Amino acid sequence: MTIDQGFSLSCPSPGGDQDRIQLAHGGGGRAMARLLETVIRPAFGDAELDRQHDGALLSVDSPVAFTTDSYVVNPLFFAGGDIGTLAVNGTANDLAMCGAQPLYLSVGFILEEGLSMDTLRRVVASIGSAARAAGLRIVTGDTKVVDRGKADGLFINTAGIGRLMAVNPIGPQAIRPGDAIILSGDIGRHGIAIMAAREGLGFETVIESDCAPVAAPVLALIEAGIDVHCLRDLTRGGLASALVEIAEISGQCIALEESNIAVRADVIAACELLGLDPLHVANEGRFVAIVPSGDAERAIAIMRRHEVSCGATIIGSVGAGPAGRVSCRGPLGVARAIDMLNGEQLPRIC
């Protein structure tokens, strides 16, 4: 009997133990070779990977940026993304924050025995399409399997190499008093999407993660000659943690205007309900760009041409004040201190 699955190179075995990951799939033998051949490599579709050598041979004609990140999100799938899209965009965005064009990615899987093959197929398909969307090549990888109960379904590590495009060093040390702080869009969606999926919180509207690649607007800023002083993506710890980190490293003071920070109404409602401050909630497709105030209007115009940063706006400035501190002027006109998130993000109890 044949099952018509359309054009698919995925594992054709419809039943039995082949539906689940077994220890042998990480054992270096036939089962692993078959998994790579039928499930993983086809999804990534890269000639370098298809050479099946111990490593990728690459050449980059300029200085490079190199970064790595591991992904352990629970649940694996959520509104607006999954662990696969995170694993690609998260690492690609870290490269972009260095002022680099993401080029190559490695993908390492740690799979839990018993993981359904369908889940793995969905994740590798996501990785493949996210990489293509971000213009990245997946050139090397690794697969390990651990005993049931020793991992939460699957973990992914990705490392990335990017071509450095920025001429001047980008980082907290480069920011200067008077610089404008530009936020690329609304905040808080990823964290709330995960929390809603994890806790089974049923909101009236589905809040989707903002998970997306952000390299395009960043490279456009650099190409246009904007003197980008600092870039930071707003992942765990949210906008607050990113800016406190920049203020502390640079020894500068950052002042924000709360009314300029965009948060969608449904995210505000969820935060109110859960006792969270949107400034602390995680994002996966948002960043701040710190640029000289004279470049700010042009930078915003450039960023708004890209969908991922079409909500770019100035939310504050680097200014005079206590070194290493971030403050935020609220609706009543009084400024409050902004600190990093302490511990885990826990909802208050009444």
The stretch among 118-126, 230-238, 290-298, 328-336 that binds other proteins (CB under 8 A) is 328-336
Residue 21 vs residues 45, 96, 105, 128, 265: alpha-carbon distances, Å: 22, 34, 24, 20, 42
d(CA 31, CA 23): 9
Q: Which stretch binds other proteins (CB under 8 A): 128-136, 150-158, 167-175, 339-347?
A: 339-347
Asked if 75 is part of the footprint of other proteins (rule: CB under 8 A), the reply reads: no
Q: 60 or 337: whose CB is closer to other proteins? A: 337
Build a one-symbol-per-residue string for 243-282: x at contacts with other proteins by CB under 8 A, - elsewhere.
----------------------x--xx--x-xx-------
What does the alpha-carbon distance between residue 224 and residue 289 come to, in Å, rounded to a whole number?
Answer: 14
DSSP 218-252: HHHHHHTT----EEEE--TTHHHHHHHHHHHHHT-
Binding flag, residue 344, other proteins (CB under 8 A):
yes
| Cβ 178 vs Cβ 319: under 8 Å | yes
- Least Å distance, CB 256 to other proteins, is 13
CB of residue 119 vs other proteins: minimum separation in angstroms?
Answer: 22
Distance from C-alpha of 29 to C-alpha of 10, rounded to nearest angstrom: 19
Decide whether 142 or 199 has the Cβ nearer to other proteins: 199
Number of residues engaging other proteins in binding (CB under 8 A): 27
76: tokens are: 């694996």
Contact 306, 233 (CB under 8 A): no
CA dihedral defined by 68, 168, 241, 286, rounded to 10 degrees?
Answer: -70
28 is an interface residue for other proteins by CB under 8 A: no
Do 256 and 338 meet the contact criterion of CB atoms below 8 Å apart? yes
Give the C-alpha separation, 46 to 342, whole Å: 42
Least distance (Å) from other proteins to the CB of residue 341?
10
Rounded CA-CA distance 181/196 in Å is: 30
In angstroms, what is the minimal distance from the CB of 326 to other proteins? 9
Give the span between the Cα atoms of 279 and 246, in whole angstroms.
15
**Mask: binding to other proteins, 91-120, rule CB under 8 A, as x and -?**
------------------------------
Between residues 48 and 266, which has the closer beta carbon with respect to other proteins?
A: 266
Residue 149 in contact with other proteins, rule: CB under 8 A: no
Contact string (CB under 8 A) for other proteins, positions 195-214, x = contact: ----x-x-------------
Nearest to 214 by CA among 287, 313, 160, 145: 287
- Which range, of 74-82, 87-95, 125-133, 324-332, touches other proteins by CB under 8 A? 324-332
Cβ-count burial 115-129 (b if 16+ within 10 Å, e if not): bebebbbbbbbbbbe
Minimum CB separation of residue 184 from other proteins in Å reads: 23
Stretch that binds other proteins, among 13-21, 293-301, 304-312, 338-346 (CB under 8 A): 338-346
Closer to other proteins by Cβ: residue 180 or 279: 279
Closer by beta carbon to other proteins, 29 or else 330: 330
Nearer Cβ to other proteins (219/262):
262
Q: Which residues lie near other proteins (CB under 8 A)? A: 199, 201, 265, 268-269, 272, 274-275, 322, 325, 330-337, 339, 342-344, 346-350
